[in-house]
Amino acid sequence: MNQSYWDRAKAFHGHACPGLAIGVKVWEAAAEKLGADPSFDEELACVVENDACGVDAIQALAGCTFGKGNLIHKDTGKHAYTFISRKTGRALRFYFKALRADMDREAFQQYLLDAPAEDLFECREIAMDIPCCARKFTSVKCELCGESAAENKIRLQEGKKVCLDCFKHYSRVLPGSSR
């Protein structure tokens, strides 16, 4: 485990925890297998399938952030992370497979930091469209509340341009139904 990575991730996240260790280890494995450096701009993209602590390590170490548009949240609730090199077009998906055996939090964290990546992750190359780079959108003023929002988030309701907060969703499907 790269101690510098661990220290930088802890400083960004605010504390040490097993989830952060997962993020550090997945970045180490991705950097090695892709031959990638931290993303200065958007050379590298990462699709994260959770919003847990490991994502902070990816932001701190890989240079993939929501603000730059090269960190994409796909909310499956899985500890899965796909790193995409825009330079080579390669995409590697890492699925965290290690289970917490009879270990306390500190012991599990140390196990994660010490274990080889192959013991922690299932890694496979996948075919996927490379996510587009971040776009800038024109701001449009909501005709109900007066606040501006990106035009791709504005809805038309009763002839007025409205933001998502003001938009009244309509559906004939009951919540919780399978339709």
pLDDT at 178: 64
Sequence-distant (≥ 6) Cβ neighbours of residue 115 within 8 angstroms: 25, 98
Pick the CATH number of 3-125 from 3.40.50.2300, 3.30.1330.130, 3.10.580.10, 3.40.720.10: 3.30.1330.130
User: What is the phi-psi region of residue 48: left when phi exceeds 0, alpha when psi lies from -120 to 50, beta otherwise?
Assistant: beta
Q: Is the pLDDT of residue 106 over 90?
A: yes
Specify which residues 139 forms β-bridges with: 150
The percent of residues in the chain predicted with pLDDT above 70, rounded, is 98
Q: Structural domain boundaries of the chain? A: 3-125, 136-179
Question: Mapping DSSP to helix (H, G, I), strand (E, B) and coil, where does residue 98 land?
Answer: coil
Q: Tens of pLDDT along 22-63? A: 999 999 999 999 998 887 778 899 999 999 999 999 999 999
Q: What is the pTM of this model?
A: 0.80
The percent of residues in the chain predicted with pLDDT above 90, rounded, is 76
Higher pLDDT, 117 or 36: 117
Q: Is the pLDDT of residue 103 over 70?
A: yes
Higher pLDDT, 94 or 68: 94
Residue ranges of alpha helices (H) inside 86-174 are: 105-114, 117-120
Residue 179 binned pLDDT confidence (cut-offs 50, 70, 90): low
Instruction: Find the Cα–Cα–Cα–Cα dihedral 44, 49, 53, 59, rounded to 10°.
Output: 10
Are the beta carbons of 131 and 72 closer than 8 angstroms? Answer: yes
Amino acid letter, 15: H
pLDDT at 38: 81
Q: Is the pLDDT of residue 68 over 80?
A: yes
